[in-house]
Structures are given as structure tokens and as C-alpha cells.
Amino acid sequence: MKISEVISKLQLTAYTRMPGGEELINNVYVSDLLSDVMANAHEKGIWITLQTHINVVAVAAMKNIPAVIIVNGRKPDDDTLKKATDEGVAILGTDMHAFEAAGILYNMLNG
């Protein structure tokens, strides 16, 4: 699936521009622990989290994660968006809970 398809299916808010919207995604990881993401998330997948601070971008960039979905209607910090723009990481948002967002993405990948 493409990130652009994920955005339209989940009706996500795009907080940053999407340079990699056509990139193909084969994996999704859900976690709010940054060391867990570093250790276990797949490279080039989508990361679902409720964390909103600037270190989310550093971890995503380190793991070559092109897009982060922030759930529960939380808003990313301003410095998070600035760094995300610099690093080319897309920050997306939804009012859904992690379970709902992950469920839809699971079906998109495996349906």
C-alpha cells in the first residue's frame, strides 16, 4: 500500500508535506517506547504512536521510517514538525485509537 492510500483510507491529517506519498509500505509497527521501536520496528514501515515530541522524528529517521501516525487526536509539538520537515519524515494524525488505526492498516496489508 502507498502512504497516500493510507492517508485517504484513514482520513489522516497531514501535519507535514508528503515527499514520499507514493512510497510502498509493507509493514506497520505500534509502540510508544522509543527503544522498542529502534530494536523491533521494520525499516521503511509506518509507525503508530501517541508520542508527539521531537525524539519521535530522530527515531523514525534512524529507522528509515517514512511516516508516523499520531493517534488519539494528539497534536505534534512544533519542534517535532520542524525537524520532521528537515528529515523528510511525514507526521500524520488521527482521532482514532492505536488499535483502530492498526486494525484498518492490518486489513489493508493482509486483506
Partner 1 sequence: MKKEGFFNIVGGDFSRSGEASTQLKQILHSMGINNDTIRRASISTFEAEMNVIIYTPAGMLKYEIDDDIIKIIVQDMGPGIEDIDLAMKEGYSTAPDWVREMGWGAGMGLPNMKKNSDEFKIDSVPGEGTTVEMIIYPKKGRE
Nearby residues of 8 by Cβ (< 8 Å), 6 or more positions away? none
Minimum distance, C-beta of residue 19 to partner 1, in the bound complex (Å): 18
Local structure of 103: helix, strand or coil: helix
If the CB atoms of residues 16 and 49 are measured against partner 1, the closer one turns out to be 49
If the CB atoms of residues 7 and 49 are measured against partner 1, the closer one turns out to be 49
Minimum distance, C-beta of residue 36 to partner 1, in the bound complex (Å): 6
If the CB atoms of residues 22 and 32 are measured against partner 1, the closer one turns out to be 32
As a whole number of angstroms, the distance between CA 77 and CA 104 comes to: 26
> Which positions touch partner 1 (CB under 8 A)?
32-36, 38-39, 43, 49, 51, 53-55, 58-59, 61-62, 79
Beta carbons within 10 angstroms of residue 110's beta carbon: 6
As a whole number of angstroms, the distance between CA 2 and CA 106 comes to: 14
